[in-house]
Amino acid sequence: MKKIICFGEVLWDVFPTYKRIGGAPLNVAVRLASFQNDVSLISKIGQDEEGIKIIDYLSKKGVNVACLQKDNELKTGSVSVLLDGEGSASYTIDSPRAWDTIGFDEKAKEEVEAADAFIFGSLVCRNTVSKNTLFEFLNSATYKVFDVNLRAPFYTREVLIELMGKADFIKFNDDELLLIAEYFGSQHRTLEKHINFLSKATNTPHICVTRGKDGAILLYNGKLYHQKGYPVEVVNTVGAGDSFLASLISYLLKGESPQYAMDLACAVGGLVAQSEGANPELTFEEIHSFRNL
């Protein structure tokens, strides 16, 4: 069992007719816990009903909430989500919310130091309080996984470059890769060459790029691995990338081959994309059956 810490936003995804608990770090944590990892989430909620429900939900999913802070003034996070005809989402993220002011804590620092992996994203850096706390933890983390997860206008070129410089593993989608490759002045034309270029530019040995229905590409210790994706009927893309990342990291940390980890991660991401919520319960039988289609 691997010990993994997720850091960042927890919130409610508010769709036009319903709402679901979410936030990329929370989604990653829940999927990691489903693979029998020891998972803790560092974030902050409000003193409200929405926050209480998040604690209850995470506890039931097997995620440790001991490092989940509470804010006496700010509300629990929320984001309005709209889906287009293909199930792809656009977001309007409320601000400020409790997760904007995650504080540094010595107990949490000890958890980070003891973890096999520390997973974080870029959105949490929209507020200087949470940003400064993140950088404190990054100084203590052993294996740092950066889930880029760009949400305009809550990122800057300078912060992204700084975060990439701290990471041991970076996960982009293909649009994010092209944007950031441009930041670094890459003149290449293929995703594979951009990946190798950024690996050298940031001294990051592990980079993964998701490509939606076309699968993913992984650079791992100097070798490229490809997964062409699985045919799915997309219902809702929210959380699919989060479950992909959680599955990939879980199996890489357990020593599985990168190709096997990629195959399984793409299968999990596909199953989530054809479900209504970000965190559907999936059995190992379902995952492996889908993988073998």
Q: Tell me the per-residue pLDDT of 195-229, one tens digit each, with 9 for 90 and over.
A: 999 999 999 999 999 998 899 999 999 999 999 99
User: What backbone phi and psi angles, to 5 degrees, belong to 13?
Assistant: -85, 115
Please report the pLDDT score of residue 237 as a whole number: 82
Residue-level pLDDT at 260: 96
pLDDT score of 87: 63
pLDDT at 90: 81
Residue 247's contacts (CB-CB under 8 Å, 6 or more residues apart) are 31, 35, 261, 264, 265, 268, 269
40: CB partners within 8 A, 6+ apart: 3, 4, 5, 6, 29, 63, 64, 65, 66, 67, 111, 115
Model confidence, pTM: 0.95
All structural domains of the chain = 3-291 (3.40.1190.20)
Which parts of the chain have pLDDT scores under 50? Answer: none
**Encoded amino acid at 91, one letter:** Y
Instruction: Return the pLDDT at 91.
Output: 83
